[in-house]
Chain A
């Protein structure tokens, strides 16, 4: 078996075929077979994506996978970066944990539909992480969004219906803006391939139409990347939707939208300096707003939801800054966010009258430490890198603001930690499996900064994105 076997299209094609055949699985073996097929698929895909990630490290500028045998920009290509491959590995891993977790649920009916939706949100996010074509990115954005709507409304409760309809309306308007942005970009540059668009843009320059296009892309991806004020749908969804779905929102759809913004802003438009200040302030306001709101919440899941918006704001700041250090920070913050918030959401779904279950105390500690980016965790390095990047670029006001609101974050997280830690309940064996597995992964990541190779790895992560700006 050579490395050529790890062709991401193979995974996407097979996964799609298996999802399409879901009614057949159900007819053959009922709910159980549908579940077993999904579990096997997610496990296989996780392993496969590890292989793809390894393969991607050998291509510093990113691996180009042609589809249909046509050369770019005439056919669609996947542009597999190490960063995108790592994030998709995590998506499939979290999906695997989520479906294990969901196996104890019996109120999600019809179950095969639920499992298909879980598969498709992971698949859509994978597509968003890997694709190298702007319109293809839009299609995968829609796949991810529709799967998210379906999952979010799936419980057919009063609260989920209310939370979902707000989400749908905002996301739909956003997708109209995305298409307008694509129309502007295609009309002006005459191409849909990202790398080719960047090359063409260098000769054309940031004209008025291109500035509009950037803004519309921001609106389009801002809804799912949870940028203020487009994130107002999120707290309700995070409050009421089942935790295994939220785990996929955190690791899948919101990260994929942030990554899509990274693609458009850094890879296609090349960090236009004229608009940099505006973007940074949008990120800072997102962070500040989220932390202040989180501080005043009386419900743990709602507080976590706002904390997660705050993290999205930080990632947005790091991406928009676009320097080498800032991109490294963005990568580490994304991973940290996936691990810590997902652990906390899994536990938050099982909190009783007397606090958190006792048999998941270690994951709880890990989750809280990760959520406030404390030293042993990669999030700590992420935040340090972000501060360094801000200082290097001379944005001292933003430096102080982020530090200030980080203290607010530590304050309320500590408060919640104290009130939850002493719980005496127990979590079912199957259910506690998910947070424990994630804790093991984040424990393994402790040692990441210790390995000299890891520093090298970070260079590989950002390599495809570091290039000379357009302006």
Chain B
């Protein structure tokens, strides 16, 4: 139970950052916190009480935890870092064009310099 609450809290705080903050770097930090939370949630779903790690050892035969979520999370972690990198490079591009990474300022600049088609 505690693990579920902890993992979901991380996701929730990440969502809170996305909903309320305007700084793009900050928003992406929030998303990466939420990603950690998601990974923790998946692993907790696969936990078995008193289980051992899903690696066979010679002469040992104990109950194991669910290996499937672990495989999924391995994939999810790598996907997370890939999207983070791509998103951050777009943020750097935003900074290069607008001189700022505050989303509300960027929106204002877009509206201001628009050719009347907004």
Contacts and interface: CB of A to CB of B under 8 A. Distances in A.
A176 B87 CA distance: 15
Contacts of A146: 82-83, 86
A150 B90 CA distance: 9
Interface in A115-150: 135, 139, 142, 145-146, 149-150
A41 interface: no
Nearest to A136: B75
Interface string A167-187: 011001101100110110011
A153 B117 contact: no
Contacts, number: 96
**Secondary structure type dominating chain B contacts:** helix
A175 B83 CA distance: 10
Contacts of A302: 117
A71 B76 CA distance: 24
Nearest to B24: A165
Given A162-B94, A179-B38, A299 B117 contact: yes
Interface residues of A, number: 34
B97 interface: yes
Contact of A176 (B38, B68, B75, B103): B38
Contact of B97 (A157, A186, A187, A299): A157
Interface in B12-70: 14-15, 18, 24, 27-28, 31, 34-35, 38, 41-42, 45, 68-69
A169 B83 CA distance: 10
Contacts of A179: 38, 41-42, 76
A279 interface: no
A180 B38 contact: yes
Contacts of B86: 146, 149-150, 168
A178 B75 CA distance: 14
A164 B90 contact: yes
Interface of B: 11, 14-15, 18, 24, 27-28, 31, 34-35, 38, 41-42, 45, 68-69, 72, 75-76, 79, 82-83, 86-87, 89-91, 93-94, 96-98, 103, 106-107, 110, 116-117
22 contacts: A135-B72, A139-B75, A139-B79, A142-B79, A145-B83, A146-B83, A149-B86, A158-B110, A161-B98, A162-B107, A165-B91, A165-B94, A168-B86, A169-B28, A172-B28, A172-B31, A173-B15, A173-B18, A176-B31, A183-B42, A186-B68, A298-B116
